[in-house]
Amino acid sequence: MKNRFLRAVLCLTLCCALFLTLAPAPRAAAEMQSGTCGKRGDNLTWTVDESGVLIISGTGDMADYSMSFRAPWKTGVTEVRIADGVTGIGSYAFAWCKDLTAVTLPGGLTRIGKSAFHACSALKALKIPDSVTEIAANPFSLCSALTGLKVSPNNPALAVVDGVLFSKADRRLIAYPCARTESEYAIPDGIVIVGNGAFYGCENLRSVTLPEGVTTIGAEAFYECRSLSELTLPDSLSIIGRLAFYACGSLSELTLSENVSILGYGAFFGCRSLRSVMVKSSILAIGGDVFRSCPKLVVTVLRDSSAARYCEQNDLDYIYPDSLDWLLD
């Protein structure tokens, strides 16, 4: 009898120990994240509270980040509040904050870096203060909910026309909001530069017209504009930047005027429907992989031109403007 009692006590003890071992530990309260993010190190500090509100405070510019070196705050940021004293937002500072819906910018902010809000897919609107005078490559690329941007008419450096952001000093189109539903867009007369990443990922656009006077299409300007099928390029165009039309899978034909002198690396990489490109000039500089993954393409080039040599060296199909003249004899 005694042995049975002892066995029962031992069994109960083991069961209790096993329960305590397997039972989940009590959840700790959500902790506030914090650190430094200044261009000079600790000139700026940041905190993220349990509700996802990111506050940046201090004096001076933020550090720049990149696709491979990301900002220190983790996912879950829902709101950004930048305090007075902060003068510059770093490149890729808030990129991939997919839950971000609200941003407060201070009156003394002067600079917004490249791709600062890249792929903030819940951000619908943003007002830029009058103090901002410098904006690099489209800070709002792949903001798939963004329908428009706002600046005051008193802003000395920036302007918004129909929700599209421009730089006054260099007459540059900075950012076309991704979520606009229009299928056609005509860039206003007087614009000289289509900025880096200006139309990045604008999948609703089917037709874009560039006016006479535009000289430069920047890097990644129409990156992955997958529906873009009609593109009017002006005779004034001189430079087409790196990956400018990457993966524009609906483009079928283009004419490059005699003033085009530079084609950047991969300018038409992945334009799989592109059948015809006419190059009227003897281009001074052609980057690598300009027409890579364009399986249907035939390029029309001038005899003895750099474009002809490029096609020959890269095993691209090409013809001359007079290739069929023999049929007229």
| Domain range list for the chain | 31-145, 181-329
Which parts of the chain fold into alpha helices (H)? 2-22, 306-313
pLDDT of residue 18: 47
pLDDT of residue 295: 96
Of 224-228, 273-277, 284-288, the least confident = 284-288
Q: Do domains 31-145 and 181-329 have the same CATH topology?
A: yes
The 285-286 sheet, strands edge to edge:
158-161, 164-167, 172-175, 193-194, 216-217, 239-240, 262-263, 285-286
CATH 3.80.10.10 is right for the domain spanning 181-329? yes
Which band of pLDDT confidence, cut at 50, 70 and 90, is reported for residue 27? very low
Q: Which CATH class is domain 31-145?
A: alpha beta
Residue 257 identity (one-letter amino acid)? S
Q: How far apart are CA 211 and CA 191, in angstroms?
A: 8
DSSP calls for 10-72: HHHHHHHHHHHHHSPPPPPPPPPEEEEEETTEEEEEEEE-TT-EEEEEESEEBPP--SSS--S
Please report where in the chains the tokens 């506030």 appear, as a residue: 32
Please report where in the chains the tokens 């005694």 appear, as a residue: 2
In this predicted model, what pLDDT tens digit does every residue of 77-135 receive, in sequence order?
A: 999 999 999 999 999 999 999 999 999 999 999 999 999 999 999 999 999 999 999 99
